[in-house]
Amino acid sequence: MEELKLLGKIVIKGKIKALTGLHIGGAQGNTEIGGVDNSVIKDEEGKPYIPGSSLKGKLRSLLENHEGYLSATKLVLQKKGAEPIRIHICNEPECPVCIIFGRNHGKYTLADNQTELVISNATPTRLYFRDACLDEESIKDIKPNLDLEWTEVKFENSIDRITSAANPRQTERVPRGAEFCFELVYNVLREEDKELFSKVLTAMKLLEDDYLGGSGSRGYGKIMFKDLAVYWKSREEYETGNFSAQPIVMGSLEELMQKNIPQLLK
């Protein structure tokens, strides 16, 4: 196994802004009185948030797609819940998805349902996401108009094609304009990981032109990243405690993408 040691961490902080209503589903069945059936996930204070796992899963799947991995020979069946899901895992030493998101040793079945894949090149996950909490200030002007304390309730109709009868249902959404704190951490464990970091920004850009959460085909979940700041915390800083408070790059996602970030990681 190759030698890996922490050279430093790239930390991106900023905001995620909902440009349309956002629905990331919460646990069903424990609906509060007066609540809706199809609720959004909330924290212990009852405020909606974006779980780090939602961001991670979405960026990973977008990057797998971008790298051309959506084929039976590049996907494995992973048992999660009742039905297995298809996810990319491979043995390629320099596969960007497997390096950024990590891979474990183990035996998998390829998505063709017959070929066995034995993973021997395990590597630690480079990328971590924090849960993104709601910035209350961002919705203070629209708060009086909301249906629930922090969210809106949208009524949608499915139409029976023969009788034209409507089948209304309610969906809770985070309102357009809501902003969430955003933070990700990318561990640089070898020099090559610095170049690979651009793939993380690519995945974030792909997400802006995709959607987060449910019902994306019906107008939900368009988001943008804003007010981003990139920090580099070197190995040396972790040893001395003398961290630089200054970001190495600030700006929009496009501005980050246009900078040569690997050159700034000293």
**Distance, CA of 150 to CA of 144 (rounded, Å):** 10
For residue 120, the minimal CB distance to Zn ion (Å) is: 13
For residue 193, count other CB atoms closer than 10 A to its CB: 20
Number of residue whose CB is nearest Zn ion = 95
3-state secondary structure of 60: helix
Residue 8's alpha-carbon distances to 114, 188, 227, 229, 262, in angstroms, are: 41, 5, 23, 16, 12
Of the pair 46, 93, the CB lying nearest Zn ion is at: 93
Of the pair 16, 98, the CB lying nearest Zn ion is at: 98
Of the pair 200, 223, the CB lying nearest Zn ion is at: 200
Of the pair 182, 197, the CB lying nearest Zn ion is at: 197
**Distance, CA of 77 to CA of 138 (rounded, Å):** 41
Of the pair 92, 136, the CB lying nearest Zn ion is at: 92
For residue 91, the minimal CB distance to Zn ion (Å) is: 8
For residue 90, the minimal CB distance to Zn ion (Å) is: 3
In the complex, the residues that contact Zn ion under the rule CB under 5 A are: 90, 95, 97-98
Of the pair 173, 199, the CB lying nearest Zn ion is at: 199
Cβ(122)–Cβ(113) below 8 Å: no
For residue 102, count other CB atoms closer than 10 A to its CB: 15
What residues contact 81, with CB distance under 8 A and at least 6 apart? none
Query: How do the residues of the chain divide into helix, strand and coil, expressed in percent and rounded to 5?
Result: 25, 35, 40
For residue 117, the minimal CB distance to Zn ion (Å) is: 11
Helix (H) or strand (E) holding 14: strand 8-18
For residue 89, the minimal CB distance to Zn ion (Å) is: 6
For residue 96, the minimal CB distance to Zn ion (Å) is: 8
**Distance, CA of 159 to CA of 162 (rounded, Å):** 9
Helices (H) and strands (E) in the chain, counts: 5, 13
Of the pair 90, 256, the CB lying nearest Zn ion is at: 90
For residue 101, the minimal CB distance to Zn ion (Å) is: 9
